[in-house]
Amino acid sequence: MEVTASKPVTGRFAPSPTGCLHSGSLVAAVGSYLMAKRAGGRWLLRLDDLDAPRQVAGMSDDIMRTLESFGLFWDGEVARQSLNQEYYRQAFELLQARNLLYPCSCSRKEIALAASAPHSDDDGPPYPGSCRTGMKAGGVVRSWRIKSPDGEVCFSDLRRGVICQDLTKVCGDFAIRRGAAEYLYQLAVVVDDGVAGVNQVVRGDDLLSSTPRQVYLQRILGLPQPDYCHLPLVTGPGGSKLSKRDHLVSHQLSSLKGREGQLLLAVLRFLGQNPPPELYGSGCAELLEWGIAGFDAALIPAHGGSLPI
């Protein structure tokens, strides 16, 4: 991920304002910031606010204040998914014109009952294609699905290497719009990155399984494919996944007032970086300056774990 005259790096951090940032989110923010800045690039902030019912009042401001507390200042204006509806519509119509979409009347319960393949991720069972050749009589359109390709979709991840996924087995024809006009995450994030010129995506391992879907959409929409790096996850007791209620960073700031560098130092160590002893006790500005000068992605560990401070 080197800077060239023709391809300056543009990275981004894209939290959802459905809750405070937890320590895993802070790891993703720091990792994406340092990798973009290490390459001499820009770091953008986008609020992924499509899911209006799940948003919590005041969370957008809380997220921005938390980032600023650690010296993580973004370049340019804050972007919001809710302002990109016209771009989503254009992408949807392009896919529709190419006969890649179809309406689906299936409920989650019907999909679960029809599916026979086991599944282990949060997406549920792969869609069995019940409406690919037409909805049942009297069916109401619940979603619009894109036809998954035959064969595997592969991409190279800076940390994980080459990742290949057969979408037909993992997710089937996946939804990109709900009902009449509610565009969904997989389409939105691809369009958002394309509109902003994002060419470096650094985020948590929890989103790794979604990336082949996004790569597929990038290819059929004619959008450039960013360089990807999926970071190890911060986990709770017993290796459990953190929720929006766990390890809330803004709640920790009151006890860390003036000592935010302690948590930032822990994040750098979690990412495999080794700040010299003379930086212990330093503030965030000094630690980020060191990180920008010397962040080494090759040192990012293979596995995550807890984040002790």
Report the CATH number at residue 135.
3.90.800.10
- What token pair was written down for 222? 């004619």
Domain boundary among 157, 186, 215: 186
Q: How far is CA 224 from CA 4, 36, 96, 216, in A?
A: 16, 17, 20, 11
| Closest listed residue to residue 26, CA positions, set 18, 229, 34 | 34
The reply to whether 66 and 200 lie within a common domain is yes
Q: Residue 57's pLDDT is what?
A: 84
The reply to whether 31 and 70 lie within a common domain is yes
Judged by average pLDDT, the poorest of 43-47, 138-142, 144-148 is 138-142
The reply to whether 153 and 237 lie within a common domain is no
The reply to whether 232 and 137 lie within a common domain is no
pLDDT tens for 171-210 read 999 999 998 889 999 999 999 999 999 999 999 999 999 9
* Pairwise CA distance, residues 198 & 214, whole Å: 13
What CATH number does the domain containing 45 carry? 3.40.50.620
C-alpha of 304 from chain center: 17
**Any idea how long the chain is?**
309
Q: What is the value of pTM for the model shown?
A: 0.91
User: pLDDT exceeding 90 applies to what percent of the chain?
Assistant: 73
* Pairwise CA distance, residues 263 & 138, whole Å: 56
Domain boundary among 126, 153, 186: 186
Query: Residue 1 falls within a domain, yes or no?
Result: no
Instruction: Give the mean model confidence (pLDDT) for residues 159-164.
Output: 97
Query: Residue 280 falls within a domain, yes or no?
Result: yes
CA angle 213, 302, 28 (to 5 degrees): 60
Query: Residue 305 falls within a domain, yes or no?
Result: no
Query: Residue 68 falls within a domain, yes or no?
Result: yes
Spell out the SS3 assignment of the chain: CCCCCCCCCEEEECCCCCCCCEHHHHHHHHHHHHHHHHCCCEEEEEECCCCHHHCCCCHHHHHHHHHHHCCCCCCCCCEEHHHCHHHHHHHHHHHHHCCCEEEECCCHHHHHHHCCCCCCCCCCCCCCCCCCCCCCCCCCCCEEEECCCCCCEEEEECCCEEEEECHHHHCCCCEEEECCCEECHHHHHHHHHHHHCCCEEEEEHHHHHHHHHHHHHHHHHCCCCCEEEEECCEECHHHCECCCCCCEHHHHHHHHCCCHHHHHHHHHHHCCCCCCHHHCCCCHHHHHHHHHHHCCHHHCCCCCECCCC
If one counts the domains in the chain, the total is: 2
Domain boundary among 186, 206, 227: 186
Domain that holds residue 32: 10-82+195-299
Whether the Cβ atoms of residue 27 and residue 270 lie closer than 8 Å to each other: yes
* Pairwise CA distance, residues 306 & 186, whole Å: 29
The reply to whether 129 and 258 lie within a common domain is no
Query: Residue 237 falls within a domain, yes or no?
Result: yes
| pLDDT exceeds cutoff 50 at 266 | yes
| pLDDT exceeds cutoff 70 at 286 | yes
Instruction: Give the mean model confidence (pLDDT) for residues 265-271.
Output: 96
User: pLDDT exceeding 70 applies to what percent of the chain?
Assistant: 88
Confidence class of residue 250 from pLDDT cuts 50, 70 and 90?
A: low
